[in-house]
Amino acid sequence: MSHTCHARGCETPCRPQYLMCPRHWRRVHPTIQRLVYRHYREGQCDDKLPSEAWHTAADAAIGYVATLEDHPLRVAEMNALNECGFTVRESKGGLEAVETN
């Protein structure tokens, strides 16, 4: 089974321990990147048991990139962005995620 980038519409192959391809990962806000790294547990790709905190951070990362690329946000991504300290608001032609801290 191959693993691909989790950014909406991207089919770039990447290693299972990576959430996104390098191009999309560079677009993720550094605060969210740190949360993804903080909550990643070695071996979670093998046992398929990532923590709820990792899922929240991953959803926030996916949602953050989605706002930059004008993709619709899923409810889980909107909630995750809020939990990670971001507000989603309408901007010119779409949505933007803004850090509230």
Q: What pLDDT, in 10s, does the model give residues 62-80? A: 999 999 999 999 999 999 9
In a domain, 47, yes or no: yes
In a domain, 85, yes or no: yes
In a domain, 9, yes or no: no
In a domain, 12, yes or no: no
In a domain, 7, yes or no: no
In a domain, 45, yes or no: yes
Domain that holds residue 57: 22-99
Q: What pLDDT digit, counting tens, does each position of 13-52 carry? A: 999 889 999 999 999 999 999 999 999 898 887 788 889 9
What residues pair up with 70 in beta bridges, in sequence order?
Answer: none
Amino acid of residue 22: P
Q: How many structural domains comprise the chain?
A: 1
In a domain, 31, yes or no: yes
Q: What is the 3-state secondary structure (H, E, C) of 44-80?
A: HHHHCCCCHHHHHHHHHHHHHHHHHCCCCCCHHHHHH
The pTM for the full model equals 0.93
In a domain, 16, yes or no: no
> Three-state DSSP class for 36?
helix
> What is the share, in percent, of the chain residues with pLDDT greater than 70?
98
Distance in angstroms (rounded) separating the CA atoms of residues 37 and 31: 10
